[in-house]
């Protein structure tokens, strides 16, 4: 485990006599004296400081990144394997200006009756852990300091605490394997590995994880065969549309397919309709999309992890009643793991105009020859969509004659109209009524057989602009 709070990390895996490199960016490298010997450690190499009386240690120059006065919270840690305590009083693991971590020794015997963690403070006080460290075996030794409490940990387990004291700057640098003042009495006789200093107070969980991860990584982390983690998202999840029956016009809807997996993946693109009452899929297209023989399925290839592709579904609507609803279900399914899929929905409502015409005459009932009759044709769109290219055609009975100039148009504002006449039963619409046409009395035309009104604008579906009427006058022969 690694973070930027590490101010000094010495792996101690160098050859005998080589400079001991600080693995952080602070370059707090150490210089060995007494030639600590290369050996096997907990993680790769370690150094053996086990030469009694030789003041075998690693000297590290002072640096602001190591200065305990700069950190109200700090952690010292290291792996220690004591192999002898003879002639030693305070075997030191790591020391900064006489504030150090090590092990307790009073009797100088092997193995000692003591051997617990000892934390020296440079106000001439020291505190001890509660558990004897393993002799000639690896021990993970940690001291964590906050402004109020100093805690000790042995092999990932809390092992005593004491009230903290203020650090007293004394000058000088740091040392591994012996302290910086008490010379040969502070030699650590044994192996040291992974000595670290952090400018923060590591949590008990962090310390236990470090212990497990470094001491027995094979049991701490279980690995198996590589697993392909597929993932997919489709946007939008649900959208809606209203449209007229196609009648030759197709519609489109866009879906975005996102690869939420950890590797490049292909996706099958599938469509279906629920209940299938109006929608038919025409095609599925997009960058990298290959359409199959069936228009309702396709595949998009090589979508990188985290990327997306825009897919367009073209569809048509059947000639069904207005108000009919149908749902297009779009599915993106991982090719690598077909159990992984995502859906998007388009909910379509079919809309269409509905034109109703009524015709009235005034006066009504049976009338005598020579009487004028006024006809009114009323047109209403009570559908849910505007009506386009509307025409009204009315035929005149053989017993009447059209009165010239009597057409009146009462249509909604903005709706223009062209009035046309036929004298050949609707075969053509170029006739212009004239007075006395076809031997009719003056002001009347007996040649007119049909009248046609062509609306130049849409007739809306919302009252009051969804209705209007046209009028004309005829004379009974």
| First CA to last CA distance, the chain | 108
What is the pLDDT, as a whole number, of residue 108? 47
Among 199, 220, 241, residue at a domain's last position: 220
What is the pLDDT, as a whole number, of residue 110? 44
Give the C-alpha separation, 459 to 452, whole Å. 16
How many C-beta atoms lie closer than 10 Å to residue 223's C-beta? 6
What is the pLDDT, as a whole number, of residue 112? 47
Q: For residue 266, give its domain range.
A: 232-350
Domain shared by 149 and 252, yes or no: no
Query: Greatest CA separation found in the chain?
Result: 147
Lowest-pLDDT choice from 101-105, 126-130, 432-436:
101-105
Domain shared by 43 and 112, yes or no: yes
What is the pLDDT, as a whole number, of residue 217? 64
**Percentage with pLDDT > 90 across the chain:** 65
Domain shared by 306 and 417, yes or no: no
Peptide bond just before 172 cis, omega within 30 deg:
no
Among 330, 350, 370, residue at a domain's last position: 350
Give the C-alpha separation, 110 to 130, whole Å. 19
Domain shared by 419 and 448, yes or no: yes
CATH number for the domain that contains residue 330: 2.60.40.2310
Domain shared by 18 and 101, yes or no: yes
Domain shared by 22 and 142, yes or no: yes
Domain shared by 21 and 120, yes or no: yes
**Percentage with pLDDT > 70 across the chain:** 94
Phi, psi of 141, rounded to the nearest 5 degrees:
-110, 125
What token pair was written down for 142?
A: 């940690």
Domain shared by 271 and 416, yes or no: no
Residue 351 binned pLDDT confidence (cut-offs 50, 70, 90): confident
What is the pLDDT, as a whole number, of residue 38? 92
Give the C-alpha separation, 445 to 476, whole Å. 12
* pLDDT tens string 15-24: 988 999 999 9
Give the C-alpha separation, 330 to 342, whole Å. 8
Residue 235 has pLDDT above 50, yes or no: yes
Residue 240 has pLDDT above 60, yes or no: yes
Residue 62 binned pLDDT confidence (cut-offs 50, 70, 90): very high
What is the pLDDT, as a whole number, of residue 312? 96
Residue located via tokens 């212009």: 432
Residue 399 forms part of a structural domain:
yes
Q: Mean pLDDT score of the chain, rounded to an integer?
A: 89
What is the pLDDT, as a whole number, of residue 362? 95
Domain shared by 332 and 362, yes or no: no
Q: Which of 333, 345, 328, 336 is nearest to 257 (CA)?
A: 333
* pLDDT tens string 369-426: 999 999 999 999 988 888 888 999 999 999 999 999 999 999 999 999 999 999 999 9
**Structurally, how many domains does the chain consist of?**
3
Residue 226 forms part of a structural domain:
no
Residue 50 binned pLDDT confidence (cut-offs 50, 70, 90): confident
What is the pLDDT, as a whole number, of residue 111? 47
Residue 227 forms part of a structural domain:
no
What is the pLDDT, as a whole number, of residue 225? 56
Among 195, 220, 245, residue at a domain's last position: 220
Residue 109 has pLDDT above 50, yes or no: no
Could you tell me the strand order of the sheet in which 125-128 lies? 31-33, 57-60, 174-176, 92-96, 99-103, 117-121, 125-128
Give the C-alpha separation, 374 to 107, whole Å. 132
What is the pLDDT, as a whole number, of residue 2? 65
* pLDDT tens string 458-474: 999 899 999 999 999 99
Give the C-alpha separation, 142 to 202, whole Å. 10
Q: Name the helix (H) or strand (E) containing 219.
A: helix 217-220
What is the pLDDT, as a whole number, of residue 218? 59
Residue 1 forms part of a structural domain:
no
pTM above threshold 0.75: no
Beta carbons of 265 and 307 less than 8 angstroms apart: no
Domain shared by 62 and 171, yes or no: yes
Residue 427 forms part of a structural domain:
yes
Could you tell me the strand order of the sheet in which 308-317 lies? 232-235, 251-259, 308-317, 279-286
What is the pLDDT, as a whole number, of residue 47? 93
CATH number for the domain that contains residue 80: 2.60.120.200
Residue 446 has pLDDT above 90, yes or no: yes
What is the pLDDT, as a whole number, of residue 33? 87
Lowest-pLDDT choice from 127-141, 180-194, 440-454:
180-194
Domain shared by 183 and 236, yes or no: no
Peptide bond just before 251 cis, omega within 30 deg:
no
CATH number for the domain that contains residue 422: 2.60.40
What is the pLDDT, as a whole number, of residue 280? 94
* pLDDT tens string 212-232: 888 876 555 555 555 567 888
What is the pLDDT, as a whole number, of residue 126? 84
Residue 225 forms part of a structural domain:
no
Domain shared by 181 and 135, yes or no: yes
Provide the Cα torsion 330, 332, 335, 339; round to 10°: -90
Give the Cα-Cα-Cα angle 316, 318, 321 (nearest 5 degrees).
135
What is the pLDDT, as a whole number, of residue 188? 87
Q: Is 438 left (phi over 0), alpha (psi -120 to 50) or beta?
A: left
- What integer is the mean pLDDT of 315-338? 92
């Amino acid at each position: 485990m690694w973070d930027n709070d590490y101010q000094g990390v010495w792996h101690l895996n160098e050859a005998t006599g080589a400079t001991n490199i600080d693995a952080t960016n602070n370059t707090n490298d150490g210089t060995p004296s007494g030639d600590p010997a290369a050996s096997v450690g907990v993680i790769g190499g370690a150094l053996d400081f086990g030469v009694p009386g030789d003041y075998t240690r690693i000297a590290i120059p002072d640096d602001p990144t190591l200065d305990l006065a700069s950190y109200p919270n700090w952690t010292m840690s290291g792996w220690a394997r004591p192999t002898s305590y003879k002639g030693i009083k305070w075997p030191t693991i790591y020391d900064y200006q006489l504030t150090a971590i090590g092990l307790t020794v009073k009797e100088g015997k092997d193995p000692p009756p003591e051997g617990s963690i000892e934390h020296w403070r440079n106000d001439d006080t020291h505190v001890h852990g509660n558990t004897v460290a393993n002799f000639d075996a690896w021990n993970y030794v940690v001291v964590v300091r906050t402004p109020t409490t100093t805690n000790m940990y042995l092999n990932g387990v809390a092992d005593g605490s004491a009230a903290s004291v203020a650090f007293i700057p004394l000058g000088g640098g740091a040392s591994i394997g012996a302290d910086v003042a008490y010379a040969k009495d502070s030699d650590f006789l044994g192996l040291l590995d992974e000595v670290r200093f952090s400018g923060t107070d590591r949590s008990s969980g962090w310390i236990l994880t470090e212990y497990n991860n470094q001491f027995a990584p094979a049991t701490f982390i279980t690995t198996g065969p590589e697993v392909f983690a597929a993932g997919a998202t489709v946007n939008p999840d649900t959208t809606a549309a209203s449209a007229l029956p196609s009648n030759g016009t197709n519609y489109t809807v866009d879906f975005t397919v996102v690869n939420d997996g950890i590797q490049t993946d292909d996706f099958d693109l599938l469509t279906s309709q629920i209940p299938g009452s109006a929608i038919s899929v025409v095609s599925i297209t997009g960058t990298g999309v290959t359409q199959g023989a069936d228009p309702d399925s396709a595949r998009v290839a090589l979508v990188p992890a985290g990327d997306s592709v825009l897919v367009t579904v073209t569809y048509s609507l059947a000639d069904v009643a207005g108000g009919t609803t149908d749902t297009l279900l779009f599915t993106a399914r991982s090719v690598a793991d077909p159990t992984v899929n995502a859906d998007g929905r388009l909910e379509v409502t079919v809309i269409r105009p509905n034109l109703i015409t009524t015709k009235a005459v005034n006066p009504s009932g049976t009338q005598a020859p020579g009487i004028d009759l006024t006809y009114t044709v009323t047109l209403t769109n009570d559908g849910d969509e505007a009506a386009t290219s509307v025409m009204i055609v009315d035929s005149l009975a053989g017993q009447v004659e059209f009165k010239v100039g009597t057409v009146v148009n009462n249509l909604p504002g903005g709706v223009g109209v062209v009035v046309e006449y036929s004298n050949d039963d609707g075969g053509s619409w170029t006739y212009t009524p004239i007075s006395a046409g076809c031997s009719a009395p003056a002001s009347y035309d007996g040649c007119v057989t049909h009248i046609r009104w062509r609306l130049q604008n849409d007739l809306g579906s919302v009252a009051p602009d969804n209705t209007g009427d046209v009028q004309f006058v005829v004379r009974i022969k």
